[in-house]
Chain A
Amino acid sequence: MDPFGVLVFLLLGMLNGVVYAMLLFLLSSGLTVVFGMLGVLNIAHASFYMLGAYFAYSLVQWTGSFWAALLLAPVAVGGLGVLVERFLLRKAHQFGHSHELLLTFGLAYIILEIVKWIWGTGSHPMNAPVRLDESLPILGQVYPTYRLFICALGLCVLVALGLLLFRTRLGMIVRAAVSDFSMVDALGFNVRALFVGVFGVGAGLAGLAGVIAAPLLSVYPGMGSDMLVDTFIVVVVGGLGSLKGALIASFILGELQSFGVLIIPRLAMIFSFLLMTLVLIWRPMGLFGERV
């Protein structure tokens, strides 16, 4: 292969990695901030991702418009997240963290069964919206436009989230609550209400990831648990509670998966476990985590 060919190969591989990294970041950002605030590890987070994809699938069938699904499905999932926090998680909170974990685990179990009941156990393909289902020529190769759209959308969400968290008063309070929940509570902020909001936004972002993943990976009942493990690896590697860690770990894992599949297809998934194991031996709190 000539040097130019190698360069193109590396560039397209990196681009694929970025696409996966964007999905991982949309999922792990909500998970890690929720964990940072109240120490709740939400196992049902990947179920929100799956619900986003299924809602989008049905919305596309009803309305015929991907854009309507992209707008409405995350809102619906976010609303569901608020209900879950308000009526279930809050109740389990008094029994301690292992009960919260078990509750979200039970919810994930129920959501999966309900999804199988309503939509069946088969896989549903979903088309990318018109004009995005084509391919663009890049450096003498063709590349699916939809993947570029995911990168662009992911970057928009990333920037919006960054501005919200680091440039507004609300974001400042959220970050303060991540580092010391009870202190912010004692200062008179209504952190419980804030937490409901953060939980809802996190669920909505997971739903958004589900919508944009649907045309890429198709819609099937195992999509949640497939994504759950990678999301967990991202938050463990990045450090629970750290948004910066989640972002960087998403990119590391995305690229690792992308090049792993290209170079050694059969062992691709071993790499992510290897990464996690090495990070945990070297820094048990993750790359940017502050506590074990």
Chain B
Amino acid sequence: MISGGRRAASIGLVLAGLGCAPLLLTTPRLYSFTEVVILALFAVSYNLLFGYLGLLSFGHSAYFGLGAYATALVLFHWHGLPVLLAVVLGTAAGALGGIVIGNFCVRLSGPYFAMLTLAFGQLLFAIAWKWRALTRGDDGFGEFVKHATFPLLGTLESPDQRALYYLVVSVIVPVVGGTWLLMTRTPFGNFVVSVRQNEERAVFLGYDVLAIKLVTYTLAAGLAGLAGSLSAIFHDFVSPSAIDLTLSTDVVLMTFIGGTVSFFGPVLGAAFFVYFSDFISALTDRWQIIMGVIFVLIVLFAPGGLVGFLERIPKFRLRSVRSEAPR
């Protein structure tokens, strides 16, 4: 447990770091840092399913992709649209997909859930791939950000790294903070944890377990849609790689390497994933093998992930989602 004062200080430090990052980092470094922030949101949304609900999804990129395509399409076809409205629409697209698909998936658990999410993910990928009239298939499409209206700045003639970074951070930080409060400080968060710990008991206590699962699934899908939406704007490009199986598997890797037992573990995992793959891909072309081996070693020997390692350091404890009574 971190005491209240230390927690406030560390939150302040993180916020200050995020605010100053563009002043301290060179353009390529700022680029990968922005990717870390976006993927961190994506991994946090994934962990709402595994860490909090105990459901293992292999099709989470479906919602990332829905958000990315929805935002890209509205910006592409609707000139002068406020960028934040496009982000909201992308998030809504992810959440809508989450309600529809989640309605089937959350009735199942374990391997059935894993298989069904994989199948639906592949279905949406196939649609993005084949429906060329809408998505331009494999080629993808870009250069839609110049049509958007930004708050304070108006339209951006050429995408400005720093402006996009501040857009991404100013959306993601409050959203992730709010989700953290929701999952750890409200009765809803307690319901979710109780469902994972003992579903049968939660049913007997009178909770509508299916509704809790569906709401959490939809929330996770909406947050993934938000991540996809911001990713499309940041890259000014969208293609089926925003909705493919590779992205679905990458987010599993990130989340587990970071550690699913803590709300912020996946953030660490996303940072590790981006920076470590940058680092080893400079040394070898086969960096994915190394990433896969690290993942398997973590599954076999360190189920707590990186956070599990950090928690062995005295006085460094991130709140565990497995704790009996999250406050």
Contacts and interface: CB of A to CB of B under 8 A. Distances in A.
Contact of B110 (A97, A235, A266, A273): A97
A101 B56 contact: yes
Interface in B101-122: 104, 107-108, 110-112, 114-116, 118-120, 122
A135 to B, nearest CB: 30
Contacts of B20: none
Interface residues of A, number: 40
Given A101-B56, A269-B123, A109 B303 contact: no
Given A41-B114, A98-B56, A101-B111, A113 B286 contact: yes
Contact of B299 (A103, A235, A276, A284): A103
Interface stretch (A15-23, A172-180, A211-219, A225-233): A225-233
Interface stretch (B262-270, B288-296, B310-318): B288-296
Query: What DSSP secondary structure best describes chain B's contact surface?
Result: helix
Given A99-B303, A269-B126, A277 B104 contact: yes
A174 B187 CA distance: 47
A206 B120 CA distance: 24
A35 B119 contact: no
Contacts of B252: 102, 105
Contacts of A117: 285-286, 289
B300 interface: yes
Contact of A113 (B58, B119, B288, B296): B288
Interface stretch (A88-96, A159-167, A183-191): A88-96
Nearest to B285: A117
B303 A95 contact: yes
Contact of B289 (A39, A114, A232): A114
Given A41-B114, A113-B292, A266-B130, A91 B300 contact: yes
Interface in A259-292: 266, 269-270, 273, 276-277, 280-281, 284, 292
A103 B249 contact: no
A106 interface: yes
Contacts, number: 94
A266 B131 CA distance: 9
A152 interface: no
| Range of interface residues on B (Cβ < 8 Å) | 35 or more
Contacts of B104: 277, 280-281
Nearest to B55: A98
Interface in A227-247: 228-229, 232-233, 235-236, 240
B245 interface: yes
Contact of A92 (B115, B289, B300): B300
A120 B179 CA distance: 43
Contacts of A229: 118-119, 122
A101 B111 CA distance: 8
- Most chain B CB within 10 A, of A88, A91, A102, is at A102
26 contacts: A35-B111, A92-B300, A95-B303, A101-B111, A102-B252, A103-B299, A106-B292, A106-B296, A107-B296, A109-B249, A109-B291, A110-B289, A110-B292, A117-B286, A229-B118, A229-B119, A232-B115, A233-B119, A235-B115, A240-B111, A266-B130, A273-B120, A273-B123, A276-B119, A280-B104, A280-B108
Interface of B: 54, 56, 58, 104, 107-108, 110-112, 114-116, 118-120, 122-123, 126, 130, 245, 249, 252-253, 256, 285-286, 288-289, 291-293, 295-296, 299-300, 303
Interface of A: 35, 39, 41, 43, 88, 91-92, 95, 97-99, 101-103, 105-107, 109-110, 113-114, 117, 225, 228-229, 232-233, 235-236, 240, 266, 269-270, 273, 276-277, 280-281, 284, 292
